[in-house]
Amino acid sequence: MNTILLAAGFSTRMGQIKQIMALDGVPMARRVAEAFLLPGNTIYVVIGAHGEAVRAIFDDFPCQFVVNQTPESGMFSSAQAGCRAILDGEPALLCPCDCPGITLETVRSVKEKLDRSPDTIIIPSYQGRRGHPIGLPAWFIEHIQRLPPDTPGLRSLWPFFADRIVELDVLDAAILRDIDTPQDIRGIFTPSGGA
């Protein structure tokens, strides 16, 4: 299995580099990545803006880095860069770095569902709302690789593949997190500045 962790953004709304911002003492991107430490799972961290700072928090972490050369193009450019690192015929889980708290159980459930249904896109759902990580089958990864770079985002593709999407109900509200501003952290984690 493979995991693509998207950590190439500019963190404009946070006012600091959110990828490295420590939450309860652990840098945010690393906290998310730790949920994907499953046997046989290769973690690809996509970096771009603030690349060296993000790379530093993974200094002793078992992962590989993929550089998004055009992070200003948006999150899809990072997803596409990550997909291009995946070997032909292999699936992957995809997750942004700003949804800390996703449990190992949730990650394992999405992985196992993708293993059992390798032709479908697996999207976890909590109380009827879709979140992350998304299970990408090999054929869809190859599709993403071929798309034009100005594609609006993965969500723009869902209507075209509605019959290939399986929603997986999970008991994990963290799949819905999208931490973009200091207000998004309140009541969840204690921020403690940079790593």
- Express the helix, strand and coil content of the chain in percent, nearest 5 each: 35, 20, 45
C-beta of residue 95 within 8 angstroms of C-beta of residue 135: no
Provide the whole-model pTM.
0.94
DSSP 84-112: HTSPTT--EEEEETT-TT--HHHHHHHHH
C-beta of residue 74 within 8 angstroms of C-beta of residue 6: no
Q: How far is 139 from 133, CA to CA, in rounded Å? A: 18
In whole angstroms, what separates CA 68 from the centre of its chain?
A: 14
Residue position matching structure tokens 């879709």: 130
Q: How far is 125 from 18, CA to CA, in rounded Å? A: 25
Architecture of domain 2-177: Alpha-Beta Complex (3.90)
Listed by start position, the domains of the chain span: 2-177
In whole angstroms, what separates CA 192 from the centre of its chain?
A: 23
Sign of torsion over alpha carbons 60, 65, 70, 75: negative
List per-residue pLDDT tens for the chain, 195 residues long. Answer: 999 999 999 987 787 899 999 998 999 999 999 999 999 999 999 999 899 999 999 999 999 999 999 999 999 999 999 999 999 999 999 999 999 999 999 999 999 999 999 999 999 999 999 999 999 999 999 999 999 988 999 999 999 999 999 999 999 999 999 998 878 887 777 666 544
β-bridge partners, 134? 94
C-beta of residue 153 within 8 angstroms of C-beta of residue 75: yes
